[in-house]
Amino acid sequence: MLGYVGRRLRSFVAVLFVISLISFVLTRVLFPSPVQQILGGQSSSATSAQLARLENELGLDEPLAVQYVEWLGSVLTGDLGRSFLQPVPVSTAILQRLPATFEISVLAIAFAIVCGLVLGVAGALRRGGVVDALTSTTSVVALSVPNFFLGILLILLFALQLGLLPTGGYVPFSQDPLGNLRSMVLPVLTLSAAYVGYFARFSRSLMITVLGEDYILRAHASGIKPRAVIWRHGLRNTLLPLLTVVGVNVAGLVGGAVVTETIFSIPGVGTLLVSSILSKDFPVLQGLVLVITVCVLTINLVIDLLYGLIDPRVRVT
Amino acid sequence: MGPDDTTLLDVRDLHAVYPSAKGTVRAVDDISFTMAAGEVLAIVGESGSGKSATALAIMGLMHRTSGRVVSGEVLFDSRDMLRLTEGELRAIRGSEISMIFQNPMTALNPVLSIGHQLTEVVRAHLRIGRTEAWERAVELLRMVEIPDPRSRLAAYPHQLSGGLRQRVMIAMALSCEPKLLIADEATTALDVTTQSQILKLLRRVTAETRTAVIVITHNMGVVASIADRVAVMYAGRIVELADVRSIFHDPRHPYTVGLLGSIPRIDGPRLDDLVAIEGRPPSLSEPSRGCPFRPRCPLAMDMCADREPLLEPVQGASAHLASCWASATDQQAHATRSRGGLAGPDGRQGES
């Protein structure tokens, strides 16, 4: 078990290194001269001497390889650098934004798993019936509605027409628990919709396959209650592959978070990512990519370990 | 053997179908037979002849495989299984009638331990606690000769060999001391040495507990070694029903003769080639006329094309039933039998 985690951690570090290299090179290639922007863009009156001085101050006039090694060195000591634009360290800027994104993502994935399973299993059990038609339609709709469109619709209906929920913004849970949850409802629905649809379709077809297995017929032949057959024998074998699919989709969640946070003007990692790209704030951008990569890799590792807990066949010794 | 007070199972005019793209498939076509308590009945026939469907219909499980019983009665202990509620059936399944499946690799849930699955069945039918059920499971594994039963209970299916898994399935099937055990191709998926061990085990434990057994197989060797009586199925019908001796020594249906002719023997006179039955079974989704075996039958006569023969007692033996115009009318059947060059199973008494 420890050996397995050790091996996983080694590849973890390797992936992290490659990602850091790619993000570094990409930012430099895409934005060859960020200082112009920092000093006010094309229309700024900064002289070339000023530009050169700033470039030198930020270390941007050094060869790329030197810049990368210096950056990597400080990252390894825990220093992600300072933002070009804000007077704060990158780590502080990211840490301020993490809780909101973390909360939305966890709630959205949890909601998608529960909702998707319920819809999918209900459809599989009533295959070909009215329930199946309803749940299948729901999941296809949830899967196909673009999240920016869904978000705007939800704001129109629940916030503007009915006035039940806030249109956006974020209140930390510690300050106002109820207000926090109220502000989370619409973003979570928006972010999870596609996953609800996807997980529902996936678990429906999985459950149908599982229900056709010999051990299900055998359980019925042993006089086990149908409810127990479904829960003990069916669901457990459905959860396993679903878990893998969830893990794969966690990475894609970041993209959804960007859109959702923008629509609901939530100060999260997604909006920070966008603003750092638009303002060519290299240190923030690179730091964010690293942090996001660490999160995704960690979640995948946790899921693989969980898998071993549920499925004895992959239990590592 | 007519229905009397020891009759355990009385299947009457059972008709079951599966839906298919080409229409309804008549998987079981009006079959009738009875079984006495403690009797071992073999149902033989090729793939698709309706053996497994018969078993599922008896268990009341056709609907779990998308099939449907159209008509008939399955009287088990004088209760009609086809008229019971799902709850009543559930109390019988796994307890009074139980079933062993063909493939022990897939009939056990891969993510639950052996002990979990065994005790689950025990506790579904007997009112006992967790620890007691666990002790019962240990006892059951010991009965099916699994060494070190206590530690095996903690194992998962993938950690056991095919033979061990089938032993677990037998233990599970016998866990509530059923009156009837249905073994559907229980040895087919195993290698040959394991087959004979499992067969021996089945014979021993069912004889000890006086459990009636329906052995579903296409292997005449299995039939010879375990059965008291044999029902030969073809195209969803029983075409011959007799005690095991008569089936091997005096088969009356040309299909039975053909089946026996296709067994390789190492102790009999050596034949140049194994005799195969020419042709293929008829499609069961189209309505048929006459005898379903006619296109493949060496004895086919004009009347076979028009009228379907009924399963009736053959001359001189009331317990030997066959559905064949040729064997019912003249001596031609005897001629075929000698041509097949068949010898019955030696060494085993076929009394029932």
ipTM of this complex:
0.85
Supply the pLDDT for residue A225. 93
Number of residues that make up chain B? 352
pLDDT in tens, B5-49: 589 999 999 999 998 888 888 899 999 999 999 999 999 988 888
**Which of B64, B95, B158 minimises the CB distance to A223?**
B95
> A222 to chain B: which residues are within 8 Å by CB?
93-94, 98, 120-121, 124, 172
Supply the pLDDT for residue A123. 94
Q: Does residue B274 have a pLDDT over 80?
A: no
Q: Percent of chain B scored above 70 by pLDDT?
A: 88
> A236 to chain B: which residues are within 8 Å by CB?
109, 111-112
Q: Does A223 touch chain B (CB under 8 A)?
A: yes
Q: Count the Cβ atoms, other than its own, within 10 Å of residue B342.
A: 20
- Residue B143 CB contacts under 8 Å (≥ 6 apart), including other chains: B171, B174, B205
Supply the pLDDT for residue B344. 40
B266: pLDDT confidence band, cut at 50, 70 and 90? low
Q: Does residue B116 have a pLDDT over 90?
A: yes
- In the chain, the amino acid numbered A148 is F
For residue B125, the chain A residue with the least C-alpha distance is: A223
Supply the pLDDT for residue B340. 44
**Which of B64, B106, B156 minimises the CB distance to A312?**
B156
* C-alpha span between B156 and B134 (Å, rounded): 15
CA angle A161, A162, A168 (to 5 degrees): 80
Q: Does residue B122 have a pLDDT over 60?
A: yes
Q: Find tokens 């599966």 and name the residue.
A: B18
Q: Does residue A149 have a pLDDT over 80?
A: yes
Rg (CA), chain A: 24
* C-alpha span between A71 and B179 (Å, rounded): 78
- Lowest mean pLDDT: which of A39-53, A251-265, B113-127? A39-53
- Lowest mean pLDDT: which of B88-92, B135-139, B263-267? B263-267
Q: Which residue has the higher pLDDT, B330 or B61?
A: B61
Q: Does residue A296 have a pLDDT over 50?
A: yes
B159: pLDDT confidence band, cut at 50, 70 and 90? very high
Q: Are A183 and A169 in contact (CB under 8 A)?
A: yes
Provide the pairing of β-strand B97-100 with B79-80.
unpaired
Q: Does residue B351 have a pLDDT over 60?
A: no
Rounded to 10 degrees, the C-alpha dihedral B35/B38/B39/B45 comes to 80
* C-alpha span between A35 and A254 (Å, rounded): 28
Q: Do A222 and B91 touch (CB under 8 A)?
A: no
> A223 to chain B: which residues are within 8 Å by CB?
90-95, 121, 124-125
Longest dimension (CA), chain A: 86
CA–CA distances in Å: residue B172 to residues A71, B198, B211: 64, 14, 14
Question: B7-227, which class in CATH?
Answer: alpha beta
- Size of the A and B interface in Cβ pairs below 8 Å: 79
3-state secondary structure of A82: strand
pLDDT in tens, A230-252: 988 999 889 888 988 888 888 78
CA–CA distances in Å: residue B88 to residues A217, A224, B85, B95, B128: 18, 12, 5, 11, 20
Supply the pLDDT for residue A1. 67
Q: Do A215 and B108 touch (CB under 8 A)?
A: yes
Supply the pLDDT for residue B2. 40
Q: Rounded mean pLDDT of B115-144?
A: 93
Q: Do A312 and B101 touch (CB under 8 A)?
A: no
Q: What are the structure tokens assigned to B225, written together?
A: 């070694």
Q: Average pLDDT over chain B, rounded to whole? A: 85
Closest CA to B153 of B198, B185, B122, B193: B122
Q: Does A237 touch chain B (CB under 8 A)?
A: yes
For residue A226, the chain B residue with the least C-alpha distance is: B90
The residue among A220, A227, A232 with the most chain B CBs within 10 A of its CB, best to mutate, is A220
The residue among B111, B118, B123, B184 with the most chain A CBs within 10 A of its CB, best to mutate, is B111
Number of residues that make up chain A? 317
Supply the pLDDT for residue B331. 46
Q: Does A10 touch chain B (CB under 8 A)?
A: no
Q: Rounded mean pLDDT of B236-247?
A: 93
Q: Do B109 and A223 touch (CB under 8 A)?
A: no
Q: Does residue B342 have a pLDDT over 50?
A: no
* C-alpha span between B28 and B53 (Å, rounded): 7
What is the SS3 string spanning chain B? Answer: CCCCCCEEEEEEEEEEEEEECCEEEEEEEEEEEEEECCCEEEEECCCCCCHHHHHHHHHCCHHHHCCEEEEEEEEECCEECCCCCHHHHHHHECCCEEEECCCCCCCCCCCCCHHHHHHHHHHHHCCCCHHHHHHHHHHHHHHCCCCCHHHHCCCCHHHCCHHHHHHHHHHHHCCCCCCEEEEECCCCCCCHHHHHHHHHHHHHHHHHHCCEEEEEECCHHHHHHHCCEEEEEECCEEEEEEEHHHHHHCCCCHHHHHHHHCCCCCCCCCCCCCCCCCCCCCCCCCCCCCCCCHHHCCCCCHHHHHCCCCCEEECCEEEEEECCHHHHHCCHHHHHHHHHCCCCCCCCCCCC
pLDDT in tens, B47-58: 888 899 999 999
The residue among A211, A215, A222 with the most chain B CBs within 10 A of its CB, best to mutate, is A222
**Which of B64, B120, B158 minimises the CB distance to A313?**
B158
Beta strands in A158-245 (DSSP E): none
Q: Are B95 and B176 in contact (CB under 8 A)?
A: yes
pLDDT in tens, A151-187: 999 999 998 889 888 888 888 888 888 888 888 999 9
Q: Which residue has the higher pLDDT, B284 or B310?
A: B310
B333: pLDDT confidence band, cut at 50, 70 and 90? very low
Q: Does residue A310 have a pLDDT over 80?
A: no
For residue B66, the chain A residue with the least C-alpha distance is: A212
* C-alpha span between A95 and A110 (Å, rounded): 23
> B172 to chain A: which residues are within 8 Å by CB?
222
Domain boundaries, chain B: 7-227, 234-340
* Residue ranges of chain A that CATH labels 1.10.3720.10: 98-314
Q: What are the structure tokens assigned to B36, written together?
A: 């006495």
Q: What are the structure tokens assigned to B97, written together?
A: 């009638």
Rg (CA), chain B: 21
A114: pLDDT confidence band, cut at 50, 70 and 90? very high
> B154 to chain A: which residues are within 8 Å by CB?
none
Q: Do A222 and B59 touch (CB under 8 A)?
A: no
Supply the pLDDT for residue B267. 67
Contacts 24+ apart (CB under 8 A), A235-238: A235/A117, A235/A121, A235/A207, A236/A310, A236/B109, A236/B111, A236/B112, A237/A210, A237/A213, A237/B109, A237/B110, A237/B111, A238/A117, A238/A121, A238/A203, A238/A206, A238/A207, A238/A210
> B106 to chain A: which residues are within 8 Å by CB?
213-215
Q: Do A225 and B124 touch (CB under 8 A)?
A: yes
Q: Do A237 and B109 touch (CB under 8 A)?
A: yes
- In the chain, the amino acid numbered A223 is G
Q: Does residue A224 have a pLDDT over 90?
A: yes
Q: Does residue A44 have a pLDDT over 80?
A: no
Supply the pLDDT for residue B352. 35
CA–CA distances in Å: residue B11 to residues B177, B237, B266: 22, 13, 37
* C-alpha span between A38 and A280 (Å, rounded): 8
Q: Do A233 and B112 touch (CB under 8 A)?
A: yes
Domain spanning A98-314: CATH 1.10.3720.10: yes
Supply the pLDDT for residue A115. 95
CA angle A217, B86, B206 (to 5 degrees): 60
Supply the pLDDT for residue B87. 92
